[in-house]
Amino acid sequence: MRGLSVRDERSLKFAESELRRVLRRLSIEGLASHVHFQILGRSHSGPLGDLKSDGFAIVPAAGEYQIVSRSARGLVYGVYGLLESLGCRWYFPGVEGEHVPLRPASPPGRMIVENPDTSHRSVVAFWDRTGAGRQERIRENLDFAVRSRYNCFYLHWPQGLHSAMKLARDHGGGLDIGIKLHIARQLLPTRLFSSHPEWFRLQDGKRTRDYNLCVSNPQALAEVTRNAQKLTESMDVDITDYSYWQDDVPNAWCQCPSCSRLSSSEQNLRLMKAILKGVKAHTPRGQVSYLAYYATVARPQSSRIPKGLFLEFAPHACCYRHDLDDPRCPKNAALVEHLKQNLERFGTKTSRVFEYWLDVALFSSYRSPVRRLPFLMDRISHDVSFYRGLGLTEVETVQWMLPAGVENAPEVANPGFALLPRLLWNPRQDVAGFVREFSRNFYGSERASAVLRAAAQADRVNPRYLCTPNDRGSGPKQAARLLKQAVERCQELEGAVTGHHRERLVGLRKALRYDLKRAEAGDA
Ligand SMILES: [Zn+2]
Ligand SMILES: [Zn+2]
């Protein structure tokens, strides 16, 4: 193919090498020479004229297979689409997360056309606790993201950012690489505190340099603008949306007489406007994310939102017992109301949700060792439909970068990792069918889905995820009953499978038993 950019050339090479690698694992390497690639011109209006930019078609004809897309990244997805039709699956980052069937299915006999339902599907790779083998871990997380058909990958950690950014851009397989940082403190460095204490926020009558700033001080905001411009100049990223967020604390805003008249959200809006100015000074097309979470979850007071500022809504404090739009849940109802009001301010078209369904850190209370990630498959499916119903087309998910092997650890192994991106691609997924297939591929028996189902039901009544602290109800008892069922089913099944399938089930049972003990003690 001629006229490709360096980046597209790299994506295409990646597509070809992945195709060969996996076909070799399937012992049908010869098929690779019958697979051809084509990028459609922008003006193409033939039978595939409806393909979206990330979409692809697989066109079989006389034993040859043409993978067609409008973009090089679409060809990468097409390769995985073809490999999936042979029975391959990717459940987690890393070697263990790749499922390659013993006997591949036949390649498609008829044309396959696939287009993504949502336009922005991104992973926010959270922090870096990967320890040794860090580079390899970043690569594995990138590979998993592109195999799952996400299209953006954000680095959300402060250490070694520039080398990670370079690695991600070189190895992204067509993913757009961006950054997300809680960085207000760095944009107004503490060294300025002694000369300009009035630039910093007032708390209980005293200026403090811990978090954020005084957003009523024009000089402080000008300093933020300058530093945001400098920071943007140093960022080697693919996308022009920047997330330079407020500091990561629940509520630390200024109490000076001028700021006290402003809500936390309004203070955040002022901070983001100053940042946007700096970003635009470097990149006129640049955009800045306004993060609504914790104290900034309510919409800002002023209705004038500058062009280039887009909403990122993070339902961090939601209840996992109920679906997000369940009217019986006061906690979620309040969040949904905030979301709707924010959407009125910011508009739906460019707004995003920042979700935590798979945030191992959150569900482990940000402590080691990690705890079992709840099975929220139905909840994820329901929430994705809810967001789509509101007209949202941009969904991000936080994913903790974990040390090698931890994703497959029984505490963390969860069909949600692969299910979510499939739902973002096609919300009409058969969730139960997917879980049965996962059970067969990962645990060696479809019957494992009954274990997962019982555990999933327990997770929805687990006292850890209650609406309000007072609403303990029969949660612990019900959770204990369901977990006991899950543990028993798991134990029964262990005798029916062998090898690594058995090891995985034993690990799952241990994780479930731990939760059972907690539930029996009435403890979360
Ligand atoms: Zn102030
Ligand atoms: Zn609730």
Q: Which CATH architecture has domain 120-426?
A: Alpha-Beta Barrel (3.20)
User: 449: CA distance to ligand 2 center in Å?
Assistant: 25
pLDDT at 12 over 90: yes
User: 208: CA distance to ligand 1 center in Å?
Assistant: 11
User: 205: CA distance to ligand 1 center in Å?
Assistant: 11
Q: Which CATH architecture has domain 6-114?
A: 2-Layer Sandwich (3.30)
Contact 236, 248 (CB under 8 A): no
Determine if the pTM surpasses 0.85: yes
User: 383: CA distance to ligand 2 center in Å?
Assistant: 14
**Both structure tokens of 189:** 């460095």
User: 472: CA distance to ligand 2 center in Å?
Assistant: 11
Q: Domain residue spans in the chain?
A: 6-114, 120-426, 448-520
Say what the pLDDT of residue 75 is. 97
- Alpha helices (runs of H) in 409-474, residue ranges in sequence order: 416-425, 431-443, 448-461
6-114 with 120-426: one CATH topology?
no
Give the number of C-alpha atoms closer than 13 A to the C-alpha of residue 143, restricted to the C-beta side.
20
Decide if domain 448-520 falls under CATH 1.20.58.
yes
What count of residues does the chain have?
524
Helix (H) or strand (E) holding 118: none
Range with lowest mean pLDDT among 158-172, 292-306, 341-355: 158-172
Residue type, 475: G
User: 213: CA distance to ligand 1 center in Å?
Assistant: 7
Q: Which residues 6+ apart lie within 8 Å of 13 measured at CB?
A: none
For residues 246 and 187, give the distance between their C-alpha atoms in angstroms, rounded to a whole number. 10
For residues 361 and 411, give the distance between their C-alpha atoms in angstroms, rounded to a whole number. 12
Ligand nearest to the CA of 335: 2
Ligand nearest to the CA of 197: 1
Say what the pLDDT of residue 45 is. 76
Helix (H) or strand (E) holding 181: strand 176-182
pLDDT at 150 over 60: yes
Contact 207, 192 (CB under 8 A): no
Q: Residue 236: how many CB atoms within 10 A of its CB?
A: 12
pLDDT tens column, 237-277: 888 899 999 999 999 999 999 999 999 999 999 999 999 99
Say what the pLDDT of residue 404 is. 67
**Both structure tokens of 123:** 């992973």
Contact 355, 398 (CB under 8 A): yes
Residues with Cβ–ion distance below 5 A, ligand 1:
214, 216, 254, 256, 259
Say what the pLDDT of residue 390 is. 98
User: 315: CA distance to ligand 1 center in Å?
Assistant: 27
Beta bridge partner(s), residue 126: 156, 400
Q: Where are the beta strands (DSSP E) in 229-383?
A: 241-245, 287-292, 309-313, 352-355
Distance (Å) of CA 100 to CA 103, 414, 431: 9, 18, 21
Helices then strands, each counted (H, E), the chain: 16, 16
Question: What is the residue-averaged pLDDT of the chain?
Answer: 92
- Alpha helices (runs of H) in 317-376, residue ranges in sequence order: 330-346, 360-363
Pick from 344, 259, 362, 254: which is nearest to 299 by CA?
A: 344
For residues 165 and 160, give the distance between their C-alpha atoms in angstroms, rounded to a whole number. 9
pLDDT at 471 over 70: no
pLDDT at 466 over 90: no
> Residue written as tokens 């500058």?
306
User: 459: CA distance to ligand 2 center in Å?
Assistant: 13
pLDDT tens column, 335-378: 999 999 999 999 999 999 999 999 988 888 887 778 888 999 99
